[in-house]
Amino acid sequence: MTTTFTLSRRAQALTSSAIREILKVTERPEVISFAGGLPSPATFPVERMREATEKVLREAPQAALQYGPTEGFSPLREWIAERLSRGGARIPASRVLVTTGSQQGLDLLGKVLIDEGSKVLVETPSYLGALQAFSLFSPQFASLPSDAQGIVTDAISPEQMAGARFLYCLPNFQNPTGRRMPLERRKALVELAARAGVPLVEDDPYGELSYGGEALPSLLSMNPDGVIYMGSFSKVLAPGLRLGYVVAPEQVLAKLVQAKQAADLHTPTFSQRVVYEAVQDGFLDRHIPTIRALYGTQCQHMLAALEREFPEEVTWNRPEGGMFIWVQLPKGLDSGKLLAKAVERNVAFVPGAPFYAVDPQTNTLRLSFVTVPGEKIDAGIKVLGELLKAEIAA
């Protein structure tokens, strides 16, 4: 008898990420890709990681290669707690769970906080990877009104908040839009959520990548008992390390720890020890400014190219940090169709529609400016400008 693999309903509902499908095409070397969400490899501190690895293997080889506690390597948890405490509110290390990338944090949160049909509030648009992670647990998404400054707190009614398991938001240089939430909105959001008794989930991998503007306080620092915070070493050190963290009030953290134990026992001891060794003397404070400088220059380069090449009917934001620019096409234009034409001419980007939990806006797209060198930014944006002009004229 042939073996039957009956997939779970959950697995049957899984679909491949639109971004992953596109990335397959963009692996061809001739393609100028603004599609990926990858940090620039030029920022990876290779020498520092080599030294840290050697030191760990020299000084604590057995411990570094052994299983470890699910919560994470204690000195690293302490280091994370201390760094986050710079934001004003004291964060104890007992609230920190080290995860295998912050993407795992999203999955664990889904497992711990979402039942089938649970209301989950998200921005419009929101991080695709979070929508995918939460979708596995079949929530009912509600998409909150958002503008160029993030969630429009004034436009949210108490009914919209009522009964939500959490509100997932990205206040700093959001993926996909690159937008940042101003201080007044942050305060209003924290107050709104606290009044409604709804936890905030703050996803913050880009918080330290500001191009010069002042850092704004995290939602976590404004209300540590009402916020679950997620951070990552992916954008400030290297994503291949797969190292992130979740900060949560103790009773939620305990459940996340149990869920993580079932998922992978713990985050790789080796990565944790190497990263701790690499960052413990303040290295990130010296390293991050070099990332900011590079990304800031790249961003200006792309903005200048957009200004030069894109027709006036198309608009975009001017990010103050992060890795992305968000483009709005005139209503009626479909960025998915544009992508097909762009790929024929060896240029790629990510269509905006998959970033919407409900009511996808097909006239939007995301451009990453961090990995493509200046002259290729010019060439790629020129192609997109030509295609857009032809579309608009048609």
For position 368 contacting ligand PMP by CB under 6 A, the verdict is no
Q: Are 68 and 269 in contact (CB under 8 A)?
A: yes
Fill in the amino acid letter for 110: G
For position 170 contacting ligand PMP by CB under 6 A, the verdict is yes
For position 101 contacting ligand PMP by CB under 6 A, the verdict is yes
For position 207 contacting ligand PMP by CB under 6 A, the verdict is no
CB of 370 to ligand PMP, least distance (A): 12
DSSP-based helix, strand, coil % in the chain, nearest 5: 45, 15, 40
H-helix or E-strand spanning residue 29:
none
Residue 304 falls in which region: left (phi positive, over 0), alpha (psi -120 to 50) or beta: alpha
Among positions 129, 199, 224, 352, the unique one binding ligand PMP when judged by CB under 6 A: 129
Pick out residues in 134-153 that bind ligand PMP (CB under 6 A). Answer: none
> Within 10 Å of residue 44's Cβ, how many Cβ atoms?
17
Binding-site size for ligand PMP (CB under 6 A) equals: 14
Q: Are 269 and 67 in contact (CB under 8 A)?
A: yes
Give the CA distances from residue 389 to residues 7, 310, 328, 379, 380, in Å, rounded to whole numbers and listed in that order.
46, 8, 14, 16, 14
CB of 383 to ligand PMP, least distance (A): 25
For position 127 contacting ligand PMP by CB under 6 A, the verdict is yes
CB of 348 to ligand PMP, least distance (A): 17
Which ranges in the chain belong to alpha helices (H)?
9-13, 18-26, 46-59, 61-64, 74-85, 102-113, 128-135, 158-161, 183-196, 219-222, 250-264, 269-279, 283-309, 335-344, 374-393
For position 175 contacting ligand PMP by CB under 6 A, the verdict is yes
Three-state DSSP state, 130? helix
For position 192 contacting ligand PMP by CB under 6 A, the verdict is no
Q: Closest residue to ligand PMP, Cβ-based?
A: 101
* Cβ-based neighbours of 96, under 8 Å, separated by 6 or more: 71, 72, 77, 80, 81, 245, 246, 247
CB of 105 to ligand PMP, least distance (A): 8
Which CB sits closer to ligand PMP, 185 or 235?
235
Rounded to whole angstroms, the Cα distance separating 151 from 191 reads 13
Which CB sits closer to ligand PMP, 235 or 309?
235
CB of 174 to ligand PMP, least distance (A): 7
Which CB sits closer to ligand PMP, 127 or 326?
127
Q: Which among 58-66, 97-105, 115-123, 276-284 is the span making contact with ligand PMP, rule CB under 6 A?
A: 97-105
H-helix or E-strand spanning residue 4:
none
For position 324 contacting ligand PMP by CB under 6 A, the verdict is no
Q: Which among 95-103, 247-255, 331-339, 380-388 is the span making contact with ligand PMP, rule CB under 6 A?
A: 95-103
For position 125 contacting ligand PMP by CB under 6 A, the verdict is no
CB of 35 to ligand PMP, least distance (A): 12
Helix axes 283-309, 374-393, angle to 10 degrees: 40
CB of 239 to ligand PMP, least distance (A): 5
Pick out residues in 210-239 that bind ligand PMP (CB under 6 A). Answer: 232, 234, 239
Give the CA distances from residue 374 to residues 35, 295, 320, 382, in Å, rounded to whole numbers and listed in that order.
16, 11, 19, 12
For position 34 contacting ligand PMP by CB under 6 A, the verdict is no
Which CB sits closer to ligand PMP, 178 or 224?
178
Binding site for ligand PMP (CB under 6 A): 37, 101-103, 127, 129, 170, 175, 203, 205, 232, 234, 239, 244
